[in-house]
Amino acid sequence: MNEFDQARKQMVDCQIRPADVTDRRLIAAFMAVPRHLFTPRARLASAYADTEVATGDKRTMMRPRDLAKLIQAAEIQPGELVLDIACGRGYSTAILSHMAGTVVGLDNDEDGLSRASGLLADIGADNAVVIAGDPKLGVPAQGPFDVIFVNGSVSAVPQAWLDQLAPGGRLVTILRKGPVGKATVFTRSAAGIGERVIFDATAKLLPGFEPEPGFAF
């Protein structure tokens, strides 16, 4: 076991498992995906740390604990179609590919998408694809989606995302309108869209998803 394998195991044992993440498939995914490959070389020392990691492409890799809890809350089933919004370099897409049937990563950062495409191919994530587009619009041509995962915080959820949820579909994101965000699950049912707060988180706001001017932040 090399130093990165040891660090990854420690990340799972000391950050993810203690955070009430019990899904065995999800834990196996975090053990299998080499987070350091998706981390900028200058920040390799932080690849498995209990912190967000700036990737240099206006995106951050979420804190491992928050990422794991948010994915677990989506209750992804084998065979489901997942949209990964603001996928950055593709680490979240790689984890999701172990949980779902197909994963579509979406971002508007060309450099990040180029890196994501190569990295996903390198690790054999054949059921994942990344495409360029406006994160606020989603990918209506590829939906509806069983799960929409948002890789960061937003001040509000665009209606376009909710419209792309399949019946019974779940959208998971961190709503942040102040110093602390609320990880929230939105679920589509025959009665409409329901929402449930699951834990507090401080993930950075995604570019373009900041509060409107004049909002008391």
171: amino acid identity, one letter:
L
d(CA 103, CA 155): 24
- Contact assessment for residue 118 and residue 105, using Cβ atoms and an 8 Å cutoff: no
CATH 3.30.70.20 applies to domain 3-201: no
63: which 2 tokens? 């804190």
pLDDT for residue 216: 47
Residues of the chain with pLDDT under 70: 57, 213-217
Helices assigned H by DSSP within 33-145: 64-74, 91-97, 110-122
Share of the chain above pLDDT 90, in %: 86
pLDDT for residue 16: 98
52: amino acid identity, one letter:
E
Phi-psi region of 204 (alpha: psi -120 to 50; beta: other; left: phi over 0): beta
Q: pTM of the predicted model, to two decimals?
A: 0.94
Extents of the domains making up the chain: 3-201
137: amino acid identity, one letter:
L
pLDDT for residue 213: 66
d(CA 151, CA 96): 11
pLDDT for residue 214: 57
194: amino acid identity, one letter:
G
